[in-house]
Each structure stands twice: as structure tokens, then as C-alpha cells.
Amino acid sequence: MLYLDQKFNRASLMAATTVATAALLVATVPGINAVGVLLAVGLVNIGVYYAMPDKYSKTYAEKHLKRYH
């Protein structure tokens, strides 16, 4: 169950960073086209994805596994 929480949290963060990065680019870079936005968002999200930890810490897992027992 914790794995599903982690997967949902990672997907939610990636969706949020995609939208936020695209909005920031459109608002700040004059004359950027759709291809430029997609390329920049992809590059930023690659960095965000690999910066996230692969799993939760032991303390976090113990705290949140209690709600499933």
C-alpha cells in the first residue's frame, strides 16, 4: 500500500511540475512556441524526476504504515 502512495505522490509531483514549468515559461519567455515549451518542460522534469528519492525513509514508512493496520 505504501508503494501505491509513493507512486501516486511521484505522479502528482511530476504533473504539478509539468504544469508549473509550462506556465512559467509561457509567462516569462516572449515568443516561445509549443515545441520550445515541450523541450524545456521535458528537460526540467528529467532533473526533477531523478532528484526525487527512490523510496521513503524508514521513519516515514513506519509512521504511515500504522494507518493500514
Model pTM above 0.75: no
Mean pLDDT of the chain: 83
Euclidean distance between CA atoms 7 and 1, whole angstroms: 10
* Helix, strand, coil abundance in the chain, percent, nearest 5: 80, 0, 20
Could you give the number of structural domains in the chain?
1
Within a 10 A sphere around the Cβ of 41, how many other Cβ atoms? 19
Domain span at 41: 2-68
Q: What is the pLDDT of residues 19-59, one digit of tens each?
A: 999 999 999 999 999 999 999 999 999 998 888 877 767 77
Distances (CA, A) of 31 to 20, 26, 40, 43, 64: 18, 8, 14, 19, 46
The x, y and z cell numbers of residue 58, run together, are 524508514
